[in-house]
């Protein structure tokens, strides 16, 4: 599979009431409609589960894809508070973010659990966005590549392929901090990741991507898109990031 365009994904995290989500989605749909074919990337938004139906309704036929932020490995059952990949697909999702550092660190999610969730996503025909990334102390100790390699080895199912998997390299120290990895470090890590994933797998960068740094990051040949947190909550900022994608691809 060849990578035909970059993917810019918004991770809204736990933000927004239905009216906020609808307004943000409407603002993106309006921009997408006026840009027509000019926008040189694919767009995805991942709202909280409570907003999926509302946002999905606004996005319908806009070309902007919808994704979830997590799912349970099983398709159904006695798992209070959880949501299955099938339920996300039923709401119109095409993607689901899995193994985000806020879940790995906040809920002690292991690589094995993340792998099971990715299998669940595959069963429901969702593309899994597998997040990996080192902490600041791991980078300072020179262990960044080993940490990411071990997360990939532990959480990527054997049957993963480029059609159902996207990798998001998100250094933990760069998420929500305003710090970003240097373009050299991003290129080096993405090249390492590329040797460990199925050919043609998109590799996104995430961690404080904003309109000011998106151009430099998204023009890197090794970067196939961005996973955007905070800046995706503002339509102008998210749109400016999307417009930073080189078009056509170099």
In the block, residue with structure tokens 């697909």: 89
Q: Is the dihedral of CA 71, 77, 82, 84 positive or negative?
A: positive
- Residue 229 interacts with ligand PGA (CB under 6 A): yes or no: yes
Subset of residues 113 to 172 that bind ligand PGA, contact rule: CB under 6 A: 170
- Annotation says 170 is catalytic: yes
Among 205, 230, 241, 242, binds ligand PGA (CB under 6 A): 230
What's the rounded Cα separation, in Å, for the pair 9 and 6? 10
Catalytic residue from among 42, 72, 86, 100: 100
Distance CA 125, CA 143 (A): 34
Instruction: Choose, from 42, 86, 109, 170, the residue flagged as catalytic.
Output: 170
- Report the SS3 class of residue 220: coil
DSSP secondary structure string for all residues of 90-156: HTT--EEEES-HHHHHHS---HHHHHHHHHHHHHTTPEEEEEE---HHHHHTT-HHHHHHHHHHHHS
Does the protein bind ligand PGA through residue 176 (CB under 6 A)? yes
Catalytic residue check, 53: no
Q: Which of residues 8-67 bind ligand PGA (CB under 6 A)?
A: 11
**Residue located via tokens 């660190």:** 105
- Residue 241 binds ligand PGA, judged by CB under 6 A: no
- Is 244 a binder of ligand PGA (CB under 6 A)? no
Min CB(129)–ligand PGA separation in Å: 9
CB of 213 to ligand PGA, least distance (A): 10
Q: Which of 227, 235, 241, 242 binds ligand PGA (CB under 6 A)?
A: 227
Cβ–Cβ under 8 Å, residues 6 and 223: yes
Q: Answer yes or no whether residue 207 interacts with ligand PGA by CB under 6 A.
A: yes
Active site residues: 100, 170
Instruction: Give the residues lining the site for ligand PGA (CB under 6 A).
Output: 11, 170, 175-176, 206-209, 227-231
């Amino acid at each position: 599979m060849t990578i035909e365009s970059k993917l810019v994904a918004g991770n809204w995290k736990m933000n927004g009431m239905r009216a906020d989500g609808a307004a943000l989605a409407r603002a993106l749909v309006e921009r997408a409609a006026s840009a027509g074919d000019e926008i040189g990337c694919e767009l995805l938004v991942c709202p909280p589960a409570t907003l999926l139906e509302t946002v999905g309704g606004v996005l319908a036929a806009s070309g902007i894809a919808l994704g979830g932020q997590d799912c349970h490995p099983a398709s159904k059952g006695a798992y209070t508070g959880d949501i299955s990949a099938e339920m996300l697909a039923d709401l119109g999702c095409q993607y689901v973010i899995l193994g985000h550092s806020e879940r790995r660190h906040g809920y002690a999610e292991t690589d094995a659990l993340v792998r099971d969730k990715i299998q669940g996503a595959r069963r429901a025909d969702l593309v899994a966005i597998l997040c990996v990334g080192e902490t600041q102390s791991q980078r300072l100790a020179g262990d960044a590549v080993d940490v990411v390699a071990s997360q990939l080895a532990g959480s990527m199912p054997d049957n993963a392929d480029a059609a159902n998997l996207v990798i998001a390299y998100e250094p933990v120290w760069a998420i929500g901090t305003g710090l970003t990895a240097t373009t050299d470090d991003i290129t080096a890590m993405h090249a390492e990741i590329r040797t460990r994933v199925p050919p043609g797998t998109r590799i996104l960068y995430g961690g404080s991507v904003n309109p000011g740094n998106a151009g430099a990051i998204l023009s890197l040949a090794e970067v196939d898109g961005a996973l955007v947190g905070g800046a995706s909550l503002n339509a102008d900022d998210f749109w400016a990031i999307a417009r930073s994608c080189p078009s056509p691809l170099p």
